[in-house]
A and B are shown apart, each in its own frame.
Chain A
Amino acid sequence: MSVKSLRQTVQGLLPSLTPVRFVAEDGTPAKPPTGYTEPPADQLRAAYRHMVLGRRFDTQATALTKQGRLAVYPSSRGQDACQVGAVLALRPTDWLFPTYRDSVALVTRGIDPLEVLTLLRGDWHCGYDPAATRTAPQCTPLATQVLHATGMAESLRRKGEDGVAMALVGDGATSEGDFHEALNFAAVFRAPVIFFVQNNKYAISVPLARQTAAPALAYKGIGYGVRSEQVDGNDLAAVLAVLTAAVEHARAGHGPFLVEAHTYRMDAHTNADDATRYRDDEEVERWSAADPLNRLEAYLRARGVLTDEDVAAVREQAETMAAELRAGMNAESVLDPLELFDHVYAEPTPQLREQRALLASELAEATEPTEPTESTGSVGSTTPQTQEG
């Protein structure tokens, strides 16, 4: 390879020096970046609606956690543009591989909010149908899902389908080995996968500077031959534009694409975390000014494509969704402990059959005083509730 073509290859892989941005923090148009097309107004309006719904979902989930209705909730407030932009860049037939912090992305994908919260409510691990929704279970072990996305993308490529897979991952997880193995495998196989890093500046308490010495996380792509970009993660227009380009790149058979979004986790890691121990209010206030939802709303209003009536209508939808979510979460779950044995193997082993019988007898004894003839094995209230066998 000549020096000239080598230089072109390297430059083709490297991200922009500064994050791609279409809209400034105050909602005014930024100097347009080169190489990207701003999404059309109707797409931005649709994204705005999803962001309002997503924000409401998030604040409602946080409130429900404070009321003891959820075991835990990792909020993505402040990362709304990333959550919504990621999903809108995909087709429904593409695959998404989310983490535990990506509940708003799942809601944006159209998954029933109650099914999204099954995990955090503690009813089961994954509450939605991953095959039907083409959305993998929310992944807790960090970066492990990035390899699954790569494998899924590779399977789509081998089957000759034009689908892509997108892995969502946080800044802390880019230190995990699986992240690097996934980038490497994807590049070697030219798998149609998009790695979308939401750099929210903290891995629980550890700040980015303790996580990496790279100029930006987007530079982690070049070592693997993965084309990379960085984007203002609080500018929905920019997130959508860059991810759409990344998806097109992968879908066209050009291989994987790494996108780093610079954003901020407004809330603590989870409700169980105390963020005041590792960051000051001043920093949080500074990021409040960069709020992605306010920014998009101001931008769309200034362009005359979003009216007071539009905003009121979307907010009403959001309140309806929140009320339904509250009602759903206030109903007691009906859980069958014997289901624990149903999905360990396709057919239970003889040992699991014995253990199932043991638990069934324990449950029968526990319910005997009040329900002597009860033999169905189910416990708890009889409130109707979605329940798959």
Chain B
Amino acid sequence: MAKVTMAQALNTALCDALREDERVLVFGEDVGPLGGVFRITDGLTRDFGEQRCFDTPLAEAGIVGLAVGMAMGGFRPVVEMQFDAFAYPAFEQIASHVAKLRNRTRGRLTLPMVIRVPYAGGIGGVEHHCDSSEAYYAHTPGLKVVTPATAEDAYWLLRDAVADPDPVVFLEPKKLYWSREDTDLERRGALPFGRAAIRREGRDATVVAYGPSVPVALAAAEAAATEGIQLEVVDLRTVVPFDDETVSASVRRTGRCVVVQEAQGFAGVGAEIAARVQERCFHSLAAPVLRVSGFDIPYPPPKLEHAHLPGVDRILDAVDRLQLDDEPDTRHLLKGAVA
């Protein structure tokens, strides 16, 4: 076991993917000699050469469009969008081509490619550097959407994404790049791609989180435990495919659910999760499913982002509203007994 940052885990994953499959190419803005603005591609050009890891002109639609053509040509491109909000020029390529080519051609052309996007806030970034853009991608059929919360997942989910037959939007929580954990990257965890992880077990309520919100949810669970409330924390790992089974099983055990996301709440991934939980677990629920999210505002300036981002307190406030002290009202089950 060694202390590894998520950034190192991602770098190692790219390195191992390049080594194991000569079809894998890494390209984007500043990913070559500089190693990317977050250094995720550090050393790749040095170790594998310009042929395998290279800088492109500064144009995101161009990068993704080039990757589409190169994937059609037999390569497995792994491209980097420098920041979440800088990926928007590529959105037409992603929504109209990356996501649809398999479908349009009845599976005769496929696009095994990965679009890496450093995303979300919490790093004191100025405007256009901190968007949580997962809902745009998750709403687009044909894309898989991945977001790791641990270094180990960062490594293995990225390896899986590169090997996947379908295009994957790989969302990297920037604020977790430098968090360290003890892990052995060579040892693969038990969970396959597409499965959510239960990061902490608890009997009183389920907290569903993903990416940058997972450590916040775990901190909230730690704080709740000191008050005798046991929160179960589910880390989605992949937003698409969505693991209904693990989430629903957890909520059926606990009877209560809070969904946490850093993104603005309206029409977000959390809204989808809350809807799915109540559709599937209605008779197990003792309280409404609650959402904890950022506000419905453009991402704030650095000195105000703390007011926007859901923290431990906002999660605990939601837990307080889960009617934990109420006895379940079973009157509706006693038909005729209550007038």
Q: A125 touching B103 by the CB < 8 A rule? A: yes
- Determine whether B67 belongs to the interface, using a CB cutoff of 8 Å to chain A: yes
Q: B72 touching A182 by the CB < 8 A rule? A: no
Among A8-16, A128-136, A363-371, the stretch that binds chain B is A128-136
Contact A147 B166, CB 8 Å, known A125-B103, A125-B104, A185-B59: no
- A343 contacts which of B51, B68, B71, B107 (Cβ < 8 Å)? B107
Q: A144 touching B102 by the CB < 8 A rule? A: no
- Determine whether A126 belongs to the interface, using a CB cutoff of 8 Å to chain B: yes
Chain B residues with Cβ below 8 Å from A178 are: 61-62, 65, 92-93
- Determine whether B301 belongs to the interface, using a CB cutoff of 8 Å to chain A: no
Quote the shortest CB–CB distance from B273 to chain A (angstroms): 12
Find residues 155-179 in chain A having any chain B CB closer than 8 Å to their own CB.
Answer: 155-156, 158-159, 165, 177-178
Q: Which residue in chain B gives the minimum CB-CB distance to A97?
A: B69
Q: A344 touching B68 by the CB < 8 A rule? A: no
Instruction: Report how far A204 CA is from B65 CA in the complex, Å.
Output: 25
Q: B57 touching A151 by the CB < 8 A rule? A: no
Instruction: Report how far A124 CA is from B141 CA in the complex, Å.
Output: 17
Q: A177 touching B89 by the CB < 8 A rule? A: yes
- B65 contacts which of A159, A181, A339 (Cβ < 8 Å)? A181
Chain A residues with Cβ below 8 Å from B298 are: none
Among B30-38, B208-216, B237-245, B321-329, the stretch that binds chain A is B237-245
Quote the shortest CB–CB distance from B164 to chain A (angstroms): 8
- Determine whether A351 belongs to the interface, using a CB cutoff of 8 Å to chain B: yes
Contact A182 B62, CB 8 Å, known A137-B105, A151-B73, A346-B166: yes
Return the CB mask of A304-339 against B: 1 if under 8 Å, else 0: 000000000000000000000000000000000001
Q: B56 touching A144 by the CB < 8 A rule? A: no
- Determine whether A244 belongs to the interface, using a CB cutoff of 8 Å to chain B: no
Q: A148 touching B68 by the CB < 8 A rule? A: yes
- Determine whether B144 belongs to the interface, using a CB cutoff of 8 Å to chain A: yes
A-side interface size class: 35 or more
Q: Which residue in chain B gives the minimum CB-CB distance to A193?
A: B69
Q: B61 touching A147 by the CB < 8 A rule? A: yes
Instruction: Report how far A249 CA is from B215 CA in the complex, Å.
Output: 56
Chain A residues with Cβ below 8 Å from B295 are: none
Contact A350 B97, CB 8 Å, known A144-B92, A155-B69, A155-B70: no
Q: A158 touching B244 by the CB < 8 A rule? A: no
Chain B residues with Cβ below 8 Å from A188 are: 56-57
- A181 contacts which of B57, B69, B100, B107 (Cβ < 8 Å)? B57
Instruction: Report how far A136 CA is from B101 CA in the complex, Å.
Output: 10
Q: B92 touching A141 by the CB < 8 A rule? A: yes
- Determine whether B110 belongs to the interface, using a CB cutoff of 8 Å to chain A: yes
Quote the shortest CB–CB distance from A204 to chain B (angstroms): 19
Q: A388 touching B66 by the CB < 8 A rule? A: no
Q: Which residue in chain B gives the minimum CB-CB distance to A152?
A: B69
Chain A residues with Cβ below 8 Å from B92 are: 141, 144, 178
Q: B69 touching A149 by the CB < 8 A rule? A: yes
Q: How many A-B residue pairs have CB under 8 A?
A: 140
Return the CB mask of B62-105 against A: 1 if under 8 Å, else 0: 10111111111111000000000000010011001100111111
Quote the shortest CB–CB distance from A225 to chain B (angstroms): 12
Quote the shortest CB–CB distance from A6 to chain B (angstroms): 22
Q: B105 touching A126 by the CB < 8 A rule? A: yes
Instruction: Report how far A129 CA is from B89 CA in the complex, Å.
Output: 30
Find residues 99-153 in chain A having any chain B CB closer than 8 Å to their own CB.
Answer: 124-126, 129-132, 136-137, 141, 144, 146-153
- Determine whether A374 belongs to the interface, using a CB cutoff of 8 Å to chain B: no
Q: B105 touching A148 by the CB < 8 A rule? A: no
Q: A150 touching B66 by the CB < 8 A rule? A: yes
Chain A residues with Cβ below 8 Å from B225 are: none
Return the CB mask of B94-129 against A: 1 if under 8 Å, else 0: 001100111111111110000000000000000000
Chain A residues with Cβ below 8 Å from B89 are: 177
Q: A151 touching B70 by the CB < 8 A rule? A: yes
- Determine whether A345 belongs to the interface, using a CB cutoff of 8 Å to chain B: yes
Q: Which residue in chain A gives the minimum CB-CB distance to B71?
A: A151
- A185 contacts which of B66, B101, B102, B241 (Cβ < 8 Å)? B66
- B104 contacts which of A126, A159, A342, A346 (Cβ < 8 Å)? A126
Chain A residues with Cβ below 8 Å from B102 are: 343-346
Q: B62 touching A130 by the CB < 8 A rule? A: no
- Determine whether B165 belongs to the interface, using a CB cutoff of 8 Å to chain A: yes
Instruction: Report how far A125 CA is from B109 CA in the complex, Å.
Output: 13
- Determine whether A154 belongs to the interface, using a CB cutoff of 8 Å to chain B: yes
Q: Which residue in chain B gives the minimum CB-CB distance to A354?
A: B244
Chain A residues with Cβ below 8 Å from B164 are: 346
Chain A residues with Cβ below 8 Å from B65 are: 144, 146-148, 150-151, 178, 181-182
Contact A147 B66, CB 8 Å, known A129-B108, A159-B74, A177-B61: yes
Known: A181-B61, A345-B165, A351-B242. 17 other contacts (CB 8 A): A125-B104, A137-B105, A141-B96, A144-B92, A148-B97, A152-B70, A154-B73, A155-B74, A159-B74, A178-B93, A184-B59, A185-B59, A188-B56, A342-B107, A344-B103, A346-B166, A350-B245
Q: Give 7 A-B contacts (CB < 8 Å), ordered by A residue.
A: A126-B104, A129-B105, A136-B109, A185-B62, A343-B102, A343-B106, A346-B165
Closest 6 CB pairs of A and B: A151-B69, A147-B65, A155-B73, A181-B62, A125-B104, A346-B165
